[in-house]
Chain A
């Protein structure tokens, strides 16, 4: 991979990590809310 590609991959995974974390937190909160 070129240097640019390596950089894009890392950025995308950092972004994905943030979105996934937010999604899971919201889902867990929704699950807790529905249970309560």
Chain B
């Protein structure tokens, strides 16, 4: 993110990941076509257009699986966090590949009759006579419509203007899109083609993805359900200052169940809510960079003492009073009041907000 909205937010890291993503897509598409031409018993029977449709469709499914796996994988293995930082472009790219697949399919299968291609596509619903003839193309169209909505609103402009709550709820439609996509493949390719490999791959992909999400989710729930420390005098014990790695945080539970990130910066400590003001990223899993707590998800920064983003940004997060008693850090479970007149912190380096 920058101070002013820009169409595409690129930096060195994002350029590198985007280049890797495009290279992967090109290599995959070329490999798919080459292998299909060499391996299929009668390559002459399969039109190049059909090959391209299948290559793009399978690529879109693979990319969607990767996109959806990054979140839980980064929770389980923090070394994968750089992938999360670059995930947004991958999501939009997935939509573009799916759009190419859909466009080519619609033109190839519905574009050469007397009926409007879209009407022809919708009419496939009337041809349902059994489970095996469910209108799989419409499932795919539904998934594509949701992916479009998500790609179109993926920009921080929409996150800001729709509000974080509405935006998050909107992007939760990805669950529906994923289920529709599985139905698209299950009642499409799995019925039309008798090949076992694609069927196994789709089932394996769904199983891996669901297991990853459930593993990450249950681990988080276990933490959420662990008993919050008793705080008779409203002060929570966060342990010895020396045991918190410098510029890093220890995450503790407030009595209400929300998480507080307790950062160490040299011989001082500060506490902030663990929820980033941008997309709710876990601030406590980030570190202090240039004097600011930096979210591991998208690099949003907040001053550890005031919770204010460095100027010219205006975001802020809740902070908690901290005291150090005999080397132990104690955090008040009641958030510090937000002073309207509080001056934002000026960072040492130029403010990069994401």
Q: Is A31 within 8 A of B175, CB to CB?
A: no
> Complex formed: what's the CA distance from A14 to B239 in Å?
36
The answer to whether B210 and A6 have CB atoms under 8 Å apart is no
Give every chain B residue within 8 A of A16 (Cβ-Cβ): 175, 178-179, 210
B221 CB contacts on chain A under 8 angstroms: 6-7, 10
B139: nearest chain-A partner, CB-CB: A23
* Shortest Cβ distance from residue B196 to the other chain A in the assembled complex, whole angstroms: 11
- 0/1 per residue, B252-266, Cβ < 8 Å to A? 000001110000000
* A33 adjacent to B131 (CB under 8 Å): yes
Asked if B194 and A35 make an inter-chain contact with CB atoms under 8 angstroms apart, the answer reads yes
Give the distance in Å from the alpha carbon of A20 to the alpha carbon of B187 in the complex.
12
State which size class the interface on A falls in.
Answer: 20 to 34
Q: Which 4 A-B pairs have the closest CB atoms?
A: A10-B217, A27-B186, A30-B131, A30-B132
Residue in contact with B191 in the complex, picked from A1, A5, A27, CB distance below 8 Å: A27
Whether B275 is near chain A, meaning CB under 8 Å from some CB there, is: yes
Q: How many interface residues does chain B have, given as a range?
A: 35 or more
Q: In whole angstroms, how far apart are the Cα atoms of A33 and B191 in the complex?
A: 10
A-to-B contact residues, CB < 8 Å: 1-3, 5-10, 12-17, 19-20, 23-24, 26-31, 33-35
Closest B-chain residue to A14, C-beta based?
B214
Q: Report yes or no: B224 in contact with A10, Cβ–Cβ below 8 A.
A: no
Q: Tell me, yes or no, whether B103 is within 8 Å of chain A by CB.
A: no
17 contacts between A and B (CB under 8 A): A5-B280, A6-B220, A10-B214, A10-B220, A10-B221, A12-B175, A15-B175, A16-B179, A16-B210, A17-B210, A20-B210, A23-B182, A26-B131, A26-B186, A27-B187, A30-B131, A30-B132
Given contacts A1-B282, A3-B257, contact A24 B206 (CB under 8 A): yes
B172: A residues at CB distance < 8 A: 8, 12
Q: Are B214 and A2 in contact (CB under 8 A)?
A: no
State how many angstroms separate the Cβ of B21 from the closest Cβ of chain A: 25
Q: Which A residue's beta carbon lies closest to that of B218?
A: A10
Interfacial chain B residues near A7, Cβ < 8 Å: 221, 224
Closest B residue, CB atoms, query A11: B217
Using an 8 Å CB-CB cutoff, how does the interface string of B164-200 with A read, 1 for contact, 0 for none?
A: 0000100010010011001100110011001000010
Closest beta carbon of chain B to A12's beta carbon, Å: 5
Q: Is the beta-carbon distance between B280 and A13 smaller than 8 angstroms?
A: no
Are B183 and A23 in contact, with the CB atoms below 8 A?
yes
Over the window 59-78 of chain B, the binary record of Cβ atoms lying under 8 Å from chain A Cβ atoms (1 yes, 0 no) is 00000000000000000000
Q: Is B26 an interface residue (CB 8 A)?
A: no
B203 at the A interface (CB under 8 A) = yes
Report the minimal beta-carbon distance from B244 to chain A, rounded to whole angstroms: 22
